[in-house]
Amino acid sequence: MAERMYPAATPEIAARRRQLAPEINEAFESFSRAVFAEGALPEKTKQLIAVAVAHVTQCPYCITGHTKLARRKGASPEEIMEAIWVASEMRAGGAYAHSTLALHAMGEVAPEPT
């Protein structure tokens, strides 16, 4: 049997986290509820944003959880995949945009006027 790269998130782990720092845990959970509540953005849109950000931050727990939540909020598989593609472009776009720093450092472009 293949070994898991990440341990499973279980109710026992959640309980232990609460037990070790109850006030902080409650503050985080309260913040999370407020962030994902219906507001100027619908809950579905917020979950699609979370799916995209989870892919950029590469958090497997967030990817799984927010993908499931996005589906529960009515996101289609196509919408979820498009959100992932947006994240992919933004991550790659960041590398592309930051190549400006390397080009300047190598003296491959004219210095900026002062």
Angle made by CA atoms 35, 72, 52, in degrees to the nearest 5: 55
- Cα atoms in the 13 Å half-sphere on the side-chain side of 63: 10
- Domains of the chain from N-terminus onward: 10-38 (no CATH), 40-114 (1.20.1290.10)
Query: Residue 29: what pLDDT?
Result: 97
Check: CB of residue 66 under 8 Å from CB of residue 50.
yes
Check: CB of residue 51 under 8 Å from CB of residue 66.
yes
Residue 37's contacts (CB-CB under 8 Å, 6 or more residues apart) are 43
Q: Which of 38, 49, 36 is nearest to 75 (CA)?
A: 49
Query: Residue 2: what pLDDT?
Result: 66
Tens-digit pLDDT string for the chain (114 aa): 567 889 999 999 999 999 999 999 999 999 999 999 999 999 999 999 999 999 999 999 999 999 999 999 999 999 999 999 999 999 999 999 999 999 999 999 887 777
